[in-house]
Amino acid sequence: VVLPAAAPFGGLDINVEGCTLCLSCVSACPTAALSDSEQQPALYFSESACVQCGLCAATCPEKVIRLAPRIDFPAWSAPRRVVKEEQPYECIRCGNPFGTRSTIERIVAKLEGRHWMFSGENARRLELVRMCDNCRVDAAMSEDLDPYAGPG
């Protein structure tokens, strides 16, 4: 059964390819219909808890969430479902997991050779993107990588 907009029940249509697992939607969801995992980067959805408030869609920086007003009785008794799951990216120095593989690879691809801070003799700064926050600070301090140094 499809309901009109502003319905109190329904699901979500999520463009999984566009989702970066930033989990902004999880933080915004007042009913915990959207949840995450402590074991690895993942997004879960429980339709029975969704009240179609739209906070998830309004909060999503990628704009990949749409409300899907409906009544789906089987979904009400179903366990939460995996919307998206990814392997974490491991720090190139210490091996600790941080972020998601797709996000780190996308950032590196966007910066590599396209921004003066990550081109030419500064290309080694890309290694900082591939490090966890602790190793990144340590590398910047010990290897004299001044993040405020201008081009030239």
Q: What is the mean pLDDT of each run of 10 residues along the chain (152 residues)?
A: 62 93 95 93 94 95 93 84 93 93 88 81 85 91 72 63
Residue type, 21: L
CATH 3.30.70.3270 fits 10-85, yes or no: yes
Detail the DSSP E strand segments found in the chain: 10-14, 34-36, 42-45, 65-69, 81-85, 88-90, 97-100
Residue 70, pLDDT score: 86
Give the per-residue pLDDT at 3: 47
Residue 106: name the closest of 22, 3, 8 by CA: 22
pLDDT for res 71? 83
**pTM for the full predicted model:** 0.73
**Measured between alpha carbons, how far is 129 from 92 in angstroms, rounded to an integer?**
10
CATH 3.30.70.3270 placement within the chain: 10-85
Instruction: For residues 83 and 43, give the distance between their C-alpha atoms in angstroms, rounded to a whole number.
Output: 5
Please answer whether residues 117 and 127 qualify as being in contact, where contact means their C-beta atoms are separated by less than 8 angstroms: no
Query: Given this model, what pLDDT does residue 120 score?
Result: 77
Q: Are strands 34-36 and 88-90 parallel, antiparallel or unpaired?
A: unpaired
